Amino acid sequence: MLSLPQMLGNVSKAHVQSVEDWARSVTGVLRDAAIYHEARNGFYRAQCDALGVDPAAINDINDLQDLPLLPVGMFKRPDAQVLLTCSLADIETETRSSGTRGVPSVAPRNSETLTLALVGLIGTYREFFSLSGGAGLFLNPSDPEASEMGLLKDLNILNCVFDHHTYLAADQAFDAREALEHLRRWKGHMTRHIVGPPFLIGLLLRFLEREKVNVRLDPYSMIITLGGWKRHTAEAIPDEGFRGRCHDSLGVRAENVRDMYGMVESNMLAVECHLHRKHVPPWCYISIRDPGQNGKELAPGETGTIAVLDALSTSYPGFLLTDDIGDVETGTCGCGRTGQVINFRRRGQGDGLGHCPVSIERYLGSGTTAEAEAPALVKA
């Protein structure tokens, strides 16, 4: 059984625990996280009380389904500060979703959460990509141009492992000829990698195909994607076809074309192994819920609403009900890693609002407000 510091300190070891040890480890770190938030967060404590849940009583992995979930739509609300476990003064950064469906989500993070998330993210990238050196062509805006866009930050962390990198995208577009020039300039000097959302890499592929340009990258080149097709669903390419076109137009082996799944509100980032199976980090747990009855966890392999339980968040409870649809498998992957593999199927039709046992309105109307608890938070 591994503690959270042990997991973050050796991500490789955490991914190859026995299934039994993995279950004990993830249960332990999530129990500790739930106890932390229940003790310091009045809103989350109200949810636990309403459901009769005592986080300290969580004994095994099957008990995790009892933890109250916060619908991600709550992060779109102007009164979302009630979700905070830390004080507003402790917030270091706010990240925003793309707002594809209108109002963007805003996820505030304190310094402790940010540090834990960065350590986990870098360890995960090293575990799955083994990148060290080379050149990264980023088909997404740099941090100064999109400083608050959460998933772009996840991609941009990759620049720390490259010897050289450049950003080309602005306003969801880029100059494909300029991208081609960079790739040609780096040839023979550095292993070339391409990073970005799939719809922008799709634009590059279409340019190469239209212009009948055949580029051969390097034996260990990787194409790494995150963020889906967003508003470009009409141009979406099925995964296998996308990998095939990356091989045909850029010479990148299919096993080196990797996708990732995550969301702004959570620190969970599931990364594909070479078998294209998205591995859930060992400090997170995915629970698939009945879309018509969110309190009910579905059996393994069944498709439903994705709930994410994340042990890294100390700024607010990381137990979230998403609007995404998918399923999860538990066991040992063909790559040798253990734990959970998530299969994202599609975005849900709702707006992620869902409901809590105790609504924000009811909680604020009860006389127990975030402001009233502020002194206790400061003392903690």
- Pick from 112, 139, 375, 88: nearest CA to 267: 112
Domains of the chain are 4-86+277-379 (3.40.50.12780), 119-261 (3.40.50)
3-62 pLDDT per residue, tens: 999 999 999 999 999 999 999 999 999 999 999 999 999 999 999 999 999 999 999 999
Average pLDDT over residues 343-355: 70
220-224, 311-315, 335-339, 348-352: segment of lowest average pLDDT: 348-352
User: At 155, is the pLDDT very low, low, confident or very high (cuts 50, 70, 90)?
Assistant: confident
Average pLDDT over residues 155-165: 85
Residue with tokens 């973050």: 8
Residue with tokens 């332990």: 28
Output b/e per residue, 224-257; b: 16+ Cβ within 10 A: bbbbbeeeeeeeebeeeebbebbeebbebbeebb
Residue 88 confidence (pLDDT) above 60: yes
Residue 380 confidence (pLDDT) above 70: no
Greater pLDDT, 171 or 319: 319
Greater pLDDT, 378 or 99: 99
Are residues 287 and 263 in contact, defined by beta-carbon separation less than 8 angstroms?
no
CA distances from 167 to 145, 177, 230, 309 (A): 10, 14, 20, 33
Q: How many helices (H) and strands (E) does the chain have?
A: 11, 15
What SS3 class is residue 236?
coil
Q: How many CA atoms lie less than 13 Å away from 169 in the CB half-sphere? A: 23
Residue 351 confidence (pLDDT) above 90: no
